[in-house]
Amino acid sequence: MSALDGPAAAGRWLSCVTDPGSERQPPARLIGALPGEGIGPEVIDASLGVLRRLEHAGGRSIEVEIGGPIGITAKRTTGAALPDETAAFCRDVLARGGAILTGPGGGRYVYDLRRELDLFLKLVPVSAGLGLPAASPLRPEVVQAVDLLLVRENLGGVYQGRSEQFLDRDGTRILRHSFETSEPRLRRYLTAAARLAADRRGHLTVVVKQGGTPVLSDLWRTWASEAAADTAIDVSFVDVDLMAYELISRPQDFDVIAASNLAGDILSDLTALLIGSRGLSFSGNFSPLGHSVYQTNHGAAYDIAGRDAANPIGQILSLSMLLRESLGLHRESRAIEDAVRSVWATGLRTADIASSGDRVVGTQEMAEQIAEAAAIQLGAMSRAA
């Protein structure tokens, strides 16, 4: 076994976001896969195909268990976007030291899952090194040096609030929506974001809206400043509207960005422009105990489901993140990422990232090419060890 592999070498991001005093279940070579809906089954199958090819090439054997339905499809049949049976499946996999790889699911699926499993933050890596800057609509000189980490707060804000409807005295329909922010929860999140910045280049940008929500923004400022002082990093504060502008105009200047649930959702989609396509964007959701769920940042794309047209790379890269961060399998993770780049170098593209002169292929062929390249990469690493 390489010194880079195994439970003791679990990912640095996971180490930063896990509570220091928590007793994490020892990692197991176990993945619980939720195929999801729309294009989900296609991209999950593509990812697991890459995993199987790595095992045949000498990679570590990993047990994969398939969970139940999620999303709009599940709600039609069970009444819930996250059925109790599926939630129980996830808890069981995590309790045994595994991690969850989920395909896309609609409705309230992801929000309910995060609340159910205490997945308090989401990490969205945004790097030109794992993207295709040539596919971006932005100028190459703007995106070619991008390397940032977006840290989204998962359990607060509008998405985790409560709504009520009633009629006033005139019979007018009124909707009231409220949400809460607690000091311990927000401090836990901002402390993790600060630790991530300390592990990188030492700068944290915190997204607020000072004029629109002054009291809430002041709380974010206070607790982020305390976390920055504790970790000896620099911190700055940017209003969300300006943040959107600056992510497009000077993305290479940012290191770690901390944003609320709603703002983080919007900004993560925006960052997909920096790497070429939503189909390339991926993320991991983490609990304070180190429980992890990995996903793409795109939706179920029902309109192209079953047509072999989906880009599987975001889902494949989410698998790579899972292998590195949760299972400590750094060689396998690196083999996948190197394989993606090598396949791109041949001019192979799915339709969403294709330019003139590229060869456009479908979901299955792209996945097969990446799987074969990953096996070659892993073999080269083994021979060099």
- Sheet containing strand 292-296, strands side by side: 63-66, 30-34, 99-102, 292-296, 282-286, 121-127, 147-153, 256-259, 203-208, 234-239
Identify whether 180 is part of a domain.
no
Q: Is 255 a catalytic residue?
A: no
* Structural domains in the chain (count): 2
Q: What is the pLDDT of residue 24?
A: 67
The set of residues, in sequence order, having a beta carbon less than 8 Å from that of 378 and lying 6+ positions away, is 54, 57, 58, 59, 331, 332, 335
Per-residue model confidence as pLDDT tens digits over 108-132: 999 999 999 999 999 999 999 999 9
Identify whether 168 is part of a domain.
no
Predicted structure pTM score: 0.95
The band of 350, judged by pLDDT with boundaries at 50, 70 and 90, is very high
Identify whether 127 is part of a domain.
no
Identify whether 178 is part of a domain.
no
Q: What is the pLDDT of residue 6?
A: 41
- Of the residues 109, 112, 209, 352, only one is catalytic, namely 209
Identify whether 296 is part of a domain.
yes
Same domain flag for 256 and 143: yes
Task: List, in sequence order, every residue forming a beta bridge with 292; answer none if it has no partner.
Answer: 286
- Of the residues 218, 234, 241, 253, only one is catalytic, namely 241
Same domain flag for 231 and 153: yes
Identify whether 176 is part of a domain.
no
Same domain flag for 308 and 227: no
Per-residue model confidence as pLDDT tens digits over 240-274: 999 999 999 999 999 999 999 999 999 999 999 99
- Of the residues 109, 159, 189, 294, only one is catalytic, namely 159
Q: Is 147 a catalytic residue?
A: no
Task: List, in sequence order, every residue forming a beta bridge with 258; answer none if it has no partner.
Answer: 151, 206
| Full residue range of the structural domain in which residue 47 is found | 1-119+281-385
Q: In angstroms, rounded to a whole number, what is the distance separating the alpha carbons of residues 191 and 242?
A: 24
Same domain flag for 266 and 357: no
Mean pLDDT over 5-26 rounds to 73
Residue 147: CA count within 13 A, CB half-sphere: 6
Same domain flag for 351 and 368: yes
Identify whether 175 is part of a domain.
no
CATH number of the domain enclosing 229: 3.40.50
Say how many Å lie between the first and final Cα of the chain, rounded: 10
CATH number of the domain enclosing 49: 3.40.718.10
Q: Is 241 a catalytic residue?
A: yes
- Of the residues 147, 269, 308, 358, only one is catalytic, namely 269
Same domain flag for 267 and 296: no
Asked whether 81 and 75 are in contact (CB, 8 A), the reply is: yes
Among 244, 275, 306, the domain boundary falls at 275
Q: Is 269 a catalytic residue?
A: yes
Q: Is 209 a catalytic residue?
A: yes
Q: Which of 2-6, 79-83, 311-315, 370-374 has the lowest mean pLDDT?
A: 2-6
Q: Token match 């993790």: residue?
A: 192
- Of the residues 5, 109, 122, 265, only one is catalytic, namely 265
